[in-house]
Amino acid sequence: MVHNRKSFSLEEYKISPFMIGTMRLGQWGSKMNASEIEKFIEGCIALDLIDFDHADIYGSYTTESDFGAVLKKRPDLRNQMRITTKCGIRIVSKNRPEHQIKSYDLTKDHIKRSVENSLLALHTDHIDTLLLHRPDFLFDPQEIARAFTALEKEGKVKNFGVSNFSISQCELLQEIFPLCTHQVEISLLHREAFENGILDQCQKWGITPTAWSPLGGGVLLNSSEDRNIAELQKKITLLAEKYHAQPDQVLLAWLRKHPAGIVSVLGTSKLSRIKNAKDSLKINLTHEEWYMLWQAATGTEIA
Q: Which residues are catalytic?
A: 58
Other CB atoms within 10 Å distance of the CB of residue 173:
24
Write the CB contacts of 268 (distance below 8 Å, at least 6 apart in sequence): 21, 24, 274, 277
Residue 182: beta bridge partners? Answer: 162, 209
Q: Is 118 exposed, middle or buried (CB count within 10 Å of its CB: 0-12, 13-18, 19+)?
A: buried
- Which residue from 69, 55, 61, 71 is spatially nearest to 22, judged by alpha carbons? 55
Whats the size of the chain, residue-wise? 303
CA distance 217 to 214: 7
